[in-house]
Structure 1
């Protein structure tokens, strides 16, 4: 019984539990790594230096939930095969990848956890 409960709690733990929101903030703001702000704004009010092609990020966690948010950042193609959002944790099915990035995901698991930890802490609209 205790083992079953321990396993259930382990698998129920949020994926961002080990993430660092401050590192996630820095990652999100670094357009050379995450690219988030090229398409997304942090808030619905927008910002001229942020994107307007995709939904604002301040509502993402509340709309999707933590695990779904993490899965979408990891590889949005699983939910929308025609998406233009880069698959940050995938290496399969990519075309025209620079040699330095071949067979290497754009974000590590730790970076993904950090990014999600930051996104879930954004104030809701």
Structure 2
């Protein structure tokens, strides 16, 4: 017990903050759908965020959005262009859209990237069987990484 208290005191005096990852069902949205609090307490990595946005096995954001700063073979036009989005959206708004866009934009077809409940008849892949476990599309840190990348997209 004493060692834990000493370790915590040393960490706080060194400026290190211990933060737990916010679970998908515990994310707090404001009345407009924004998520003010970081999901991890760790700053996002913009370089990794760019990879998540173009990776077909992760976010694959460019399947629906144009992002001129990213080189991808194909960029979709289903969603709005994300060029300059960091200049007119806050981190909280971007985090909210990524976690569950329907909280901000009712009727959107954008998937909720950090949601594990509230689905209608979820299944296990393409097996036709009921889901045994639902995991978010992106991890909390990947959400923070994408937010960090999107915040770099500002009109000059």
Aligned residues between the structures: 111
1:54 aligns with 2:54: no
Question: Which has a greater percent of helix?
Answer: 1
With normalisation by structure 1, the TM-score equals: 0.74
> For the pair shown, which has the larger CA radius of gyration, 1 or 2?
2
Contiguous gaps of at least 5 residues in structure 1:
1-12
Equivalence map 1:1-125=2 (5 Å):
15=38, 18-43=43-68, 49-95=74-120, 97-99=122-124, 102-124=133-155
Q: Which has the higher contact order (CA 8 A, sep 6+)?
A: 1
With normalisation by structure 2, the TM-score equals: 0.61
Contiguous gaps of at least 5 residues in structure 2:
1-35, 126-130
When the two chains are superposed, the root-mean-square deviation of aligned CA atoms in Å is 2.7
Q: Deviations over 1:26-84 (max 9, x none)?
A: 111102210211110004xxx87101111111222222211111111110011123111
